[in-house]
Amino acid sequence: MREYNWATLGCGVIANQLAQAMEAKGRRLYSVANRTYEKAVVFAERYGIEKVYDNLDEVFADDAVDIIYISTPHNTHISYLRKALESGKHVLCEKSITLNTEELTEAVELAERNHVVLAEAMTIFHMPIYKTLRERIQSGSLGELRLIQMNFGSYKEYNMENRFFNRELAGGALLDIGVYALSFVRWFMSSKPDQILSQVKFASTGVDEQAAILLKNQQEEMATVILSLHAKQPKRGTIAFDKGYIELFDYPRGEEAVITYTEDGQKEVVKAGATAKALEYEVEDMEKAVLGEADEMHLDYTRDVMDMMTSIRKEWGMKYPEEEA
């Protein structure tokens, strides 16, 4: 398969993981663009990357770049998406891909107009365990889907300056971790939930620290999602059917699930993929999409999740500075 030239825009925690995923595949990122040039230089030295841009914007004009990986804070994504897509670059953008549906719609239109692939780096859509479980569900052995439970708890220190609680950096539980929980729900549900109720607890900065969300779709499949930025929760998702249930562990980068068939109590362990390879799977699926071989990026799900998050925040009356008229 053709190897594409990847540029990373941003060189923080998750960009390091991408560079390591490339290394694990015996490859290297082609270039790095970053707000702070000195950090880009250190990053490039660490991973043997040949090109560092003096000015971040140079990445968009570099003809050698095929795919740009955007890994800056959420609220900066749309401005980089505009520039990258208008320059004809394919883009894999970290979650949450945009702040809201309006921004995502604009990015999708730009990608279509420029005939490039736009995708969110949503691990869940690329880990083999999710694909394997979906095949198992589609075989019909578990019956009809009834309920999904997906909680995500992450303990972040009460530092109101960091990106998790900082409104100026589009902080809050929904965009940071809720996006995973809702992507999990959307992956297994037959259609986008169209009825949503929620409760929220705000941090002192005005971003959502905790939330509880109830969802139902046209097929009357239901889900509950409980989020916290200041309390850990077990990394477990359950998906219940009329003939059994699935427990998926170490979500979102899981590699193992247990299926319990409730009619006879039989249990089956399902293993697929490896947690450590999460970003490698994303890279592989992205390159297949760019090549036109297969589209497993699920931008349709990304759009559904963004619609849900946008309507939930609307109910809460919670706006980011960029959204205030």
Ligand X SMILES: NC(=O)c1ccc[n+]([C@@H]2O[C@H](COP(=O)([O-])OP(=O)(O)OC[C@H]3O[C@@H](n4cnc5c(N)ncnc54)[C@H](OP(=O)(O)O)[C@@H]3O)[C@@H](O)[C@H]2O)c1
Task: State the residues that interact with ligand X by CB under 6 A.
Answer: 10-15, 34-36, 39, 71-74, 76, 94-95, 163, 176
CB of 19 to ligand X, least distance (A): 11
| Cβ nearer to ligand X, comparing 244 with 254 | 254
| Cβ nearer to ligand X, comparing 186 with 253 | 253
Nearest of 81, 85, 90, 70 to residue 10 by alpha carbon:
70
Of all residues in the shown chain, the one whose CB is closest to ligand X is 12
Q: Are 269 and 258 in contact (CB under 8 A)?
A: yes
Task: Look at strands 67-70 and 145-153 and give their pairing.
Answer: unpaired
| Cβ nearer to ligand X, comparing 1 with 13 | 13
| Cβ nearer to ligand X, comparing 74 with 222 | 74
| Cβ nearer to ligand X, comparing 15 with 239 | 15
| Cβ nearer to ligand X, comparing 93 with 137 | 93
Q: Are 127 and 254 in contact (CB under 8 A)?
A: yes
CB of 292 to ligand X, least distance (A): 26
CB atoms within 10 A of CB 25: 14
Rounded distance, CA 93 to CA 79, Å?
Answer: 12
| Cβ nearer to ligand X, comparing 12 with 206 | 12
CB of 242 to ligand X, least distance (A): 35
Task: Look at strands 31-33 and 6-9 and give their pairing.
Answer: parallel
Please, what is the Cα angle at 57 between 53 and 60, to 5 degrees?
Answer: 95
Strand order in the sheet with 118-120: 51-52, 31-33, 6-9, 67-70, 90-93, 118-120
Nearest of 318, 303, 275 to residue 173 by alpha carbon:
318
CB of 268 to ligand X, least distance (A): 30
CB of 258 to ligand X, least distance (A): 26
| Cβ nearer to ligand X, comparing 177 with 259 | 177
For the purposes of burial, counting CB atoms within 10 Å of the CB of 6, is it exposed (0-12), middle (13-18) or buried (19 or more)?
Answer: buried
Q: Are 7 and 62 in contact (CB under 8 A)?
A: yes
Structure-token pair, residue 104? 């995502």
Structure-token pair, residue 118? 């736009």
CB of 121 to ligand X, least distance (A): 7
- Where does the chain show beta strands of DSSP type E? 6-9, 31-33, 51-52, 67-70, 90-93, 118-120, 145-153, 195-202, 208-216, 222-228, 236-241, 244-249, 256-261, 266-271
CB of 147 to ligand X, least distance (A): 27
| Cβ nearer to ligand X, comparing 52 with 240 | 52
Rounded distance, CA 238 to CA 262, Å?
Answer: 14
CB of 72 to ligand X, least distance (A): 4
CB of 123 to ligand X, least distance (A): 7
